[in-house]
């Protein structure tokens, strides 16, 4: 049993922290900006809650974090009352936020100066993956730090992989999001054509999902897409945040991602339709709205 802190009890963090407590058997202290959520978590799961990230991280062996973007991450680490004020020497900070590789390198350098480890460890698997404790975790950092943290991370994961040095976890997550962007547009166009032609979408997917076109998105999203339901899943706002990170990194690397850039613009149109919190599969809503 380890002493663990968890910062950021959102859709993902709340159940992840619960798995660290209940499945991992760790002594968990949580922090959340909106304190009521931290109080509710502690009441539900029997752990403790702290008033600041620094207070939560004080004395912990492992400090987890899952907040929104780069600036949020800086705020809870190196900002006032941030966790980096108190993380003890020899401890490990594990960041599950989807953020840039640059911020991972920036924070890992500060952590090294202060004598504790840092892993960038973004996740895939969505809300259901977090609730069921079966996330895929893509980690960047050094082997020894990874080996120490892996059994603890496994409390909420079915797959934990070390992808390379600091930043490699975030770069892997970028590849993941690029794959999803192009794929969901393709799936949307296929369903758009099928609907126009009067095909039974469920019947079509039952067949083609077993062939070379099959995908997680096809299996898990075709029914809600066909029904025009998007009030669930992974929000368009978050996807645009992730694609901005991908396009920025592409710029740094001097490579072009034309389909990713185009799909990002399609998501901007979905936002203008009021779909900020709609699931990423709402690319079909944009096609349907065009009437063609
Ligand atoms: N949802 C998914 O399906 C999914 C899947 C994979 C990866 N992710 C990634 O995981 C991360 C979290 O996603 P989520 O869905 O859990 O988001 P969420 O439900 O919006 O939760 C965000 C959490 O971060 C906290 N936070 C945000 N900005 C903060 C700041 N400046 N200072 C302190 N706390 C701050 C929020 O606190 P408050 O409660 O006070 O707002 C909340 O606890 C994101 O990077 C997202 O891209 C999400």
Q: How far apart are CA 126 and CA 249, in angstroms?
A: 23
pLDDT of residue 291: 73
Contact by Cβ (8 Å): 139, 160 = yes
Task: Name the architecture of domain 171-290.
Answer: Orthogonal Bundle (1.10)
Helical residues (DSSP H) of 164-281, grouped into ranges: 168-196, 201-208, 216-226, 236-253, 258-272
Centre of ligand 1 to C-alpha 196, Å, is 38
Residue range 37-68, pLDDT digits in tens: 999 999 999 989 999 999 999 999 999 999 99
Q: Is the CB of 134 under 6 A from ligand 1?
A: no
pLDDT tens column, 163-172: 999 999 999 9
Exactly one of 173, 202, 203, 292 is catalytic; which is it?
173
Ligand 1 mean position, distance from CA 212 (Å): 34
Tens of pLDDT, residues 218-253: 999 999 999 999 998 899 999 999 999 999 999 999
Q: Which atom of ligand 1 is nearest to the CA of 13?
A: 16
Question: How many Cα neighbours within 13 Å face the side chain of 275?
Answer: 28
For the chain, give every residue range classified as CATH 1.10.1040.10.
171-290
User: For residue 39, what pLDDT is reported?
Assistant: 98
What six digits make up the tokens of 135? 């996330």
CA distances from 33 to 24, 49, 291 (A): 24, 11, 43
178-224 tens-digit pLDDT: 999 999 999 999 999 999 999 999 999 999 999 999 999 999 999 99
The confidence score (pLDDT) of residue 290 equals 82
Architecture of domain 3-164: 3-Layer(aba) Sandwich (3.40)
Q: Is 36 helix (H, G, I), strand (E, B) or coil?
A: helix
User: For residue 125, what are its two tokens?
Assistant: 């698997």
Residue 59, Cα to own-chain centre: how many angstroms?
26
Q: Cα–Cα distance between 83 and 77 in angstroms, integer?
A: 5
CATH 3.40.50.720 maps onto the chain at 3-164
Residue 292 pLDDT greater than 80, yes or no: no
d(CA 159, CA 153): 10
- pTM given for the model: 0.95
Element (H, E) at 28: strand 27-31
Handedness of CA 97, 101, 106, 111 (dihedral sign): positive
150 is catalytic: no
């Amino acid at each position: 049993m380890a002493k663990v802190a968890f910062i950021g009890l959102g859709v993902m963090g709340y159940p992840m922290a619960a798995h660290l407590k209940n499945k991992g058997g760790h002594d968990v202290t949580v922090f959340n900006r909106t304190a009521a959520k931290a109080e509710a978590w502690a009441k539900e799961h029997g752990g403790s809650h702290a008033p600041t990230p620094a207070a939560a991280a004080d004395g912990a062996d492992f400090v987890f974090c899952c907040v929104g973007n780069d600036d949020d991450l800086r705020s809870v680490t190196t900002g006032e009352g941030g966790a980096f004020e108190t993380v003890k020497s020899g401890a490990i900070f594990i960041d599950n936020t989807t953020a840039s590789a640059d911020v991972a390198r920036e924070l890992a350098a500060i952590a090294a100066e202060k004598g504790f480890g840092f892993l960038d460890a973004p996740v895939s698997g969505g809300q259901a993956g977090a609730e069921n404790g079966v996330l895929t975790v893509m980690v960047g950092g050094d082997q020894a730090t990874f080996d120490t943290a892996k059994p603890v991370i496994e409390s909420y994961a079915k797959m934990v992989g070390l992808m390379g040095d600091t930043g490699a976890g975030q770069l892997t997550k970028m590849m993941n999001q690029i794959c999803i962007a192009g794929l969901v547009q393709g799936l949307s166009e296929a369903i758009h054509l099928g609907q126009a032609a009067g095909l039974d979408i469920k019947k079509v997917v039952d067949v083609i999902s077993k062939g070379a076109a099959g995908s997680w998105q096809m299996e898990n999203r075709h029914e809600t897409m066909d029904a025009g339901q998007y009030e669930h899943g992974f929000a368009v706002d978050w996807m645009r945040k992730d694609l901005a990170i991908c396009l920025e990194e592409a710029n740094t690397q001097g490579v072009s991602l034309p389909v990713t850039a185009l799909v990002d613009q399609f998501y901007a149109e979905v936002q203008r339709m009021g779909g900020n919190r709609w699931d990423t599969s709402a690319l079909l809503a944009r096609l349907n709205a065009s009437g063609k």
